[in-house]
């Protein structure tokens, strides 16, 4: 009886359930509508966050720091919420662009908000606070005035006194230990957010942005490093030999690592500043771009005009008027700013800006081109759907401007009227050595920064060994040692902007490979048949087919 009485009910239930399920199961059209709405919300939150970040980076105060933290919190909570909601479309057959956008929702930010709003607020505040603390960083030498990073770097670029160099190095690194406690909490909260999105930790989240599984990306970087490592090893040996001639055997060993403070740069990341110590006798190109720019009384604005001129020579539109009105080109005297160079597109359309404390030297001449490469790229994708307004991966974003800077050949400087005539053939060994000091010296540094972070994020290296692990990597990859003994009372990684600001770094390693591939392809397209380092794509335009 029961059976007979139950049967009609069961039949009714079975008839209704599939109907209800069909009504509720999301469709591909739902996914598309969801993505459209998500893009609209993300755009609004991102513009608000970028505006607040811009003001905070240009006027470092407690208030702007808090306003920036609020904007970032809202944006990352929105992105994390949308990424979690998007899982309801898992397993559905979707249009390729909708599927890609859903995947990008999880990957668009470098920080994932934990669901607990108290925790996401704390994370956003810590992140904003560390960047501001780095931007304010100063070191006061005994009996002297406080020095900012630009001034310390200027002195490190030119001093040849190992004692002074060690003091400058240690002085700047003293800004970092106060960040250690915040960094530990940032790792904890950032990992919590990443795990909620299904990543093993924040490092795995960062490694997931390259269209391959995170482990495959780590392997790919190792593979690339093995390919370029012989170039670095040769350069390292040559530089060590010449530094030994300069500083003597008590300062520079015959074999093994180089003391990190002798390479003309705070982090030993690019060595171009010590070129004068290493210049080959008979093959020096015989010009010094820094000297030329200073002698010509070039100002910061003019440096940017040169950069713009390169891009317009390729047929691109000039920078908008608002760029010239809203950018920051020099360190202001009356307020604290984040001087580390960056390129912005505040409205994600054409409100382009550069923020850079430009120094009149060859290094910043190239950096201006690097930054404008970001701006030009931002403008090139400004009509894409919001989630596609980004580079193929972040290595491409970093590579565009650097690619263009590879075209800043002596012949190009002649065209600008900066050099009277190009150096004769046979003088390009010096030019190439300089290039190696900038580009090859950078490679192991570009790799190790995130190797350190990945270990710290995953817990493979516990906080108690963070500084030791940093120097283990510096030794293994760069072959450099600290100028004096270090302990866990130090926090040397955070003396580098990208660690304090939470900016991923393997992008620069990729860019240092990609830019040569792009330069080669562009030079070929432009019809250059001479050796690749002599090719400049300045003034070349796309030829119409046929």
- In the complex, least distance from residue 485 CB atom to ligand X8Z, rounded to whole angstroms: 26
- In the complex, least distance from residue 501 CB atom to Zn ion, rounded to whole angstroms: 13
Q: Please report whether residue 341 would count as binding ligand X8Z according to CB under 6 A.
A: yes
Among residue numbers 366 through 385, which ones bind ligand X8Z (CB under 6 A)? 367, 370
- For 350, other C-beta atoms within 10 Å of its C-beta total 16
DSSP state letters, 463-492: GGGHHHHHHHHIIIII-EE-SS---TT--G
| Contact partner at residue 273 from Zn ion, ligand X8Z, none, CB < 5 to 8 Å by partner kind | none
Catalytic site residue 508?
yes
Q: Please report whether residue 342 would count as binding ligand X8Z according to CB under 6 A.
A: yes
Catalytic residue among 398, 412, 456, 519: 398
Pairing of strands 480-481, 258-259: parallel
Q: For residues 106 and 498, which CB has a smaller minimum distance to ligand X8Z in the complex?
A: 498
Catalytic site residue 261?
no
Compute CA distances 132 → 57, 62, 136, 221, whole Å. Answer: 7, 9, 6, 31
Count of residues that interact with ligand X8Z, criterion CB under 6 A: 5
Q: For residues 370 and 453, which CB has a smaller minimum distance to ligand X8Z in the complex?
A: 370
Among residue numbers 502 through 521, which ones bind ligand X8Z (CB under 6 A)? 508
Catalytic residue among 370, 397, 512, 519: 370
Q: How far apart are CA 103 and CA 94, in angstroms?
A: 12
- In the complex, least distance from residue 54 CB atom to Zn ion, rounded to whole angstroms: 16
Q: For residues 68 and 400, which CB has a smaller minimum distance to ligand X8Z in the complex?
A: 400
Catalytic site residue 412?
no
Q: Please report whether residue 360 would count as binding ligand X8Z according to CB under 6 A.
A: no
| Contact partner at residue 367 from Zn ion, ligand X8Z, none, CB < 5 to 8 Å by partner kind | ligand X8Z
Catalytic residue among 173, 261, 397, 498: 498
- In the complex, least distance from residue 367 CB atom to ligand X8Z, rounded to whole angstroms: 5
- In the complex, least distance from residue 531 CB atom to ligand X8Z, rounded to whole angstroms: 25
DSSP state letters, 412-458: HHHHHTSSSSPPPTT-HHHHHHHHHHHHTTHHHHHHHHHHHHHHHHH
Compute CA distances 380 → 317, 384, 516, whole Å. Answer: 10, 9, 21
Q: For residues 367 and 478, which CB has a smaller minimum distance to ligand X8Z in the complex?
A: 367
Is the Cβ–Cβ distance between 273 and 157 less than 8 Å?
Answer: yes
* CA-closest candidate to residue 279, choices 442, 432, 438, 418: 432
Q: Please report whether residue 265 would count as binding ligand X8Z according to CB under 6 A.
A: no
- In the complex, least distance from residue 349 CB atom to ligand X8Z, rounded to whole angstroms: 21
Count of residues that interact with Zn ion, criterion CB under 5 A: 1
Please name the residues in contact with 334: beta carbons below 8 A apart, sequence gap of 6 or more.
Answer: none
Q: For residues 89 and 210, which CB has a smaller minimum distance to ligand X8Z in the complex?
A: 210
Catalytic site residue 498?
yes
Among residue numbers 175 through 214, which ones bind ligand X8Z (CB under 6 A)? none
Catalytic residue among 236, 261, 369, 374: 374
Tokens 């950078």 correspond to what residue?
442
DSSP state letters, 330-379: S--SSS----S-EEEETTSSS-EEEE----SSHHHHHHHHHHHHHHHHHH
| Contact partner at residue 341 from ligand X8Z, Zn ion, none, CB < 5 to 8 Å by partner kind | ligand X8Z
Catalytic site residue 374?
yes
Please name the residues in contact with 536: beta carbons below 8 A apart, sequence gap of 6 or more.
Answer: 407, 408, 409, 411, 412, 528
Catalytic site residue 341?
yes
Q: How far apart are CA 69 and CA 325, in angstroms?
A: 26
Catalytic residue among 218, 508, 511, 519: 508
Please name the residues in contact with 532: beta carbons below 8 A apart, sequence gap of 6 or more.
Answer: 516, 519, 520, 523
- In the complex, least distance from residue 402 CB atom to Zn ion, rounded to whole angstroms: 8
- In the complex, least distance from residue 518 CB atom to Zn ion, rounded to whole angstroms: 15
| Contact partner at residue 351 from ligand X8Z, Zn ion, none, CB < 5 to 8 Å by partner kind | none
Q: For residues 104 and 341, which CB has a smaller minimum distance to ligand X8Z in the complex?
A: 341
Among residue numbers 392 through 411, which ones bind Zn ion (CB under 5 A)? 398
Catalytic site residue 370?
yes
The SS3 call for residue 539 is coil
Is the Cβ–Cβ distance between 432 and 280 less than 8 Å?
Answer: no
Give Rg (Cα) of the chain. Answer: 26
The first and second tokens of residue 527, run together, are 């019809």
Catalytic site residue 236?
no
Q: How far apart are CA 240 and CA 256, in angstroms?
A: 9
- In the complex, least distance from residue 78 CB atom to ligand X8Z, rounded to whole angstroms: 25
Q: For residues 336 and 394, which CB has a smaller minimum distance to ligand X8Z in the complex?
A: 394
Stretch that binds Zn ion, among 391-399, 402-410, 431-439, 512-520 (CB under 5 A): 391-399
* CA-closest candidate to residue 428, choices 451, 440, 411: 411
Q: How far apart are CA 182 and CA 169, in angstroms?
A: 23
Q: For residues 105 and 500, which CB has a smaller minimum distance to ligand X8Z in the complex?
A: 500
Q: For residues 467 and 515, which CB has a smaller minimum distance to Zn ion in the complex?
A: 515
Q: How far apart are CA 130 and CA 60, in angstroms?
A: 12
Residue nearest to ligand X8Z (CB): 341
The SS3 call for residue 130 is helix
* CA-closest candidate to residue 312, choices 372, 364, 399, 356: 372
Catalytic residue among 173, 261, 340, 519: 340
Q: Which residues are catalytic?
A: 340-341, 370-371, 374, 398, 498, 508
Using CB under 6 A as the criterion, which residues of the chain lie in contact with ligand X8Z when the complex forms? 341-342, 367, 370, 508
Using CB under 5 A as the criterion, which residues of the chain lie in contact with Zn ion when the complex forms? 398
């Amino acid at each position: 009886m029961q059976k007979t009485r139950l049967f009609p009910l069961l039949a009714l239930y079975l008839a209704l359930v599939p109907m209800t399920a069909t009504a509720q199961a999301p469709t591909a059209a739902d996914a598309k509508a969801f993505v459209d709405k998500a893009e609209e919300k993300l755009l609004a939150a991102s513009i608000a966050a970028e505006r607040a970040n811009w003001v905070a980076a240009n006027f470092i105060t407690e208030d702007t720091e808090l306003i920036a933290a609020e904007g970032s919190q809202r944006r990352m909570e929105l992105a994390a919420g949308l990424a979690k909601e998007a899982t309801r479309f898992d397993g559905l057959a979707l249009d390729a662009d909708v599927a890609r956008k859903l995947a990008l929702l999880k990957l668009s930010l470098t920080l994932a908000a934990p669901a607990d709003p108290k925790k996401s607020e704390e994370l956003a505040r810590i992140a904003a606070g560390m960047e501001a603390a780095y931007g304010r960083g100063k070191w006061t030498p005994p009996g002297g005035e406080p020095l900012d990073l630009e001034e310390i770097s200027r002195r490190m670029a030119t001093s040849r006194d190992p004692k002074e160099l060690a003091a400058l190095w240690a002085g700047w690194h003293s800004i970092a230990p106060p960040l250690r406690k915040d960094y530990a909490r940032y790792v904890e909260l950032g990992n919590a957010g990443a795990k909620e999105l299904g990543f093993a930790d924040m490092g795995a989240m960062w490694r997931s942005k390259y269209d391959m599984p995170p482990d495959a990306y780590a392997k790919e970087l190792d593979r690339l490093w093995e390919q370029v490592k012989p170039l670095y090893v040769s350069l390292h040996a040559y530089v060590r030999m010449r530094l030994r001639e300069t500083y003597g055997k008590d300062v520079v060993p015959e074999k093994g690592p180089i003391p990190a403070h002798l390479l003309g740069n705070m982090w030993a990341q690019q060595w171009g500043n010590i070129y004068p110590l290493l210049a080959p006798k008979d093959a020096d190109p015989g010009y010094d771009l820094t000297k030329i720019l200073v002698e010509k009384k070039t100002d910061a604005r003019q440096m940017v005009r040169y950069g713009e001129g390169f891009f317009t020579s390729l047929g691109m539109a000039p920078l908008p008027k608002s760029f010239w009105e809203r950018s920051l080109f020099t360190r202001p005297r009356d307020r604290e700013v984040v001087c580390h160079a960056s390129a912005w597109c505040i409205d994600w359309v054409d409100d382009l800006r550069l923020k850079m404390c430009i120094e009149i030297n060859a290094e910043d001449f190239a950096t201006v081109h690097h930054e404008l490469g970001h701006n030009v790229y931002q403008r090139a994708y400004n009509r894409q759907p919001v989630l596609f307004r980004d580079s193929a991966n972040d290595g491409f974003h970093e590579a565009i401007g650097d690619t263009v800077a590879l075209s800043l050949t002596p012949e190009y400087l002649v065209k600008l009227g900066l050099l009277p005539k190009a150096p004769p053939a046979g003088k390009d060994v010096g030019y190439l050595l300089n290039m190696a000091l900038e580009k090859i010296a950078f490679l192991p540094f570009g790799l190790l920064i995130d190797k350190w972070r990945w270990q710290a994020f995953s817990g493979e290296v516990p906080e108690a060994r963070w500084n030791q692990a940093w120097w283990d990597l510096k030794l293994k990859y760069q072959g450099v040692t600290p100028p004096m003994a270090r302990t866990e009372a130090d926090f040397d990684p955070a003396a580098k902007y990208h660690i304090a600001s939470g900016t991923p770094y393997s992008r620069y390693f990729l860019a240092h490979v990609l830019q040569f591939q792009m330069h080669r392809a562009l030079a070929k397209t432009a019809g250059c048949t001479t050796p690749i380092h002599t090719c400049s794509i300045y003034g070349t335009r796309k030829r119409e087919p046929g």
